[in-house]
Chains A and B, each alone.
Chain A
């Protein structure tokens, strides 16, 4: 019996150690984020006057910050903000971008031209500058940061969905689906849409990596997660003020961002190779 395309893709994915490692790291981060209260040794917002800026030790593996809070606990709880921001903003971006791209690719003609210009215009504005402006005008909060990142990332999804739709439209089965009298919306949703999933999935994985960096950037600037709630970006912001006295404050949250982003990039690369065997 011939294996299904999904099974084949899975097998190819498993054959890439880097991608599997990335997947394992993501799983670890997700577990840490969900089980944060069980894993974190201390309350992430509990301050302590006797433990201000203590270097890493047996009591505090990653040391304590300028308010005596345990850095390890804050890094553990910070995973929640980062992963949430990564996933939610990509869901927003894909939720807006994919239908628009599908419409542009499917309808073609003037609709495509108009959507194409709008997408071009949005892509011309530097991603982070637009996200910062949006987040600032919506007001500093994690939810607004996610909306800002999601909206700013949407045009890329529109572009990916559009080109995948146009690829799919050249296949005979789409022509056949039309020929038997299916209405256009049915052809688009039932026959074209499922086939644009692989490139959108690859884009989504890579976009989560970008969104995590973007959220950390916004929080670093004070436009994301608000203190005292922990977030890797805002931890780095306060760490900057104590670089000479407490360098550990800057090391761990940054390493956490780096690891999470690297893991998503590894999985994204692996997925692209696994889902698109033509490239090899």
Chain B
């Protein structure tokens, strides 16, 4: 097990290195000279331009710029926002908890919807239940997040007046208000993940229900739900957990638009605002941090896979 994890760790390092190069290379796509953009009114003054280029290391060769940047990143310095004039790392740290709260709630909602429907659809295979669950799942996958958000605002906030249409209150300030402002966006985000989890659970359950130990459990005369939940589901859980963990990327991508629709000041809104303001260091920082989070979660899923599956643990 240890060597397996060691091997995975060794694989992760070059991936992270490549991500950093990719993120750095993105900057080269930006049209125009960043120094001119930053100089604003003083863009006609060559001395100012030269000073900016010097401060941002823009006058060095690309490899030198990269090593300078990555050196800072390794020390936890993601640079300065060109627009807000704050350290990018600090900006990300203030916005991350908002999105993490949203993501955690979304994942909880997705688990509550996706796993039971997946089990039901596998147990009642090829019945009306199965077809209905599949259709609802496919519909969930096909609904654009932001449209679902707009429709929910229309129904729940505008027509029924039950929940606020937008805004955000931190959990620490007032947990009730916080839940009221985040439950709709969390549902929107969780909806797509629920559909994916449903599909994973269904196929994992179908495989598990086909196994010999399930037949043995049935032959022992166990109650069908005991067979399904205690025997089959415990085995189906392995792929569900690991594949579920990989949906973080979907969650973060979804958060970008969901936060936009519900005006939630999180990670997604940070990156969209940065993109529109051509605030390059922020975009770079956000992409780098999310990619590293994703890679680490991938690794965690691998570890979890080994921990849950005793056969791999002893290997």
Contacts from A to B (Cβ < 8 Å): 18, 117-118, 120-122, 124-130, 132-134, 136-139, 209, 213, 216-217, 220-223, 236, 239-240, 243-244, 247, 250-251, 254, 257-258, 261-262, 265-266, 269
Minimum-distance CB pairs A-B, first 3: A254-B147, A128-B253, A121-B18
B residues 123-154 near A (Cβ < 8 Å) are: 135, 138-139, 141-147, 150-151, 153-154
Contact of B74 with A by CB under 8 A: no
Specify which chain B residues have a CB less than 8 angstroms from the CB of A118 in the assembled complex.
18
Size class of B's contact patch? 35 or more
Cβ of B275 within 8 Å of any chain A Cβ, yes or no, is yes
Q: Are B150 and A129 in contact (CB under 8 A)?
A: no
Q: Which residues of B pack against A, CB within 8 Å?
A: 14-16, 18-19, 21-23, 26, 29-31, 135, 138-139, 141-147, 150-151, 153-154, 158, 165, 249-250, 252-254, 256-257, 260-261, 271-272, 275-276, 278, 283, 286-287, 290-292, 294-295, 298
- Give the complex CA separation of A127 and B14 in angstroms: 20
Among A118, A132, A262, A265: residue with most chain B CB under 10 A: A132
- From B19, B139, B145, B158, contact of A244 by CB (8 A): B158
> Is B257 a contact of A124 with CB atoms below 8 Å?
no
Show 9 residue pairs from A and B whose CB-CB distance is below 8 angstroms, ordered by the A residue: A121-B16, A129-B256, A223-B275, A236-B150, A243-B153, A258-B144, A261-B143, A265-B142, A266-B138
CB distance from A165 to the nearest CB of B (A): 21
Contact: A236 with B146, CB < 8 Å? yes
The answer, among A120, A132, A262, for a CB contact under 8 Å with B138, is A262
Give every chain A residue within 8 A of B15 (Cβ-Cβ): 117, 120-121, 124
Q: How far, in Å, is A54 (CB) from chain B's closest CB?
A: 18
Nearest opposing residue in chain B for A212, CB measure: B144
Looking at the complex, which one of A136, A247, A262 makes contact with B142 (CB distance below 8 Å)? A262
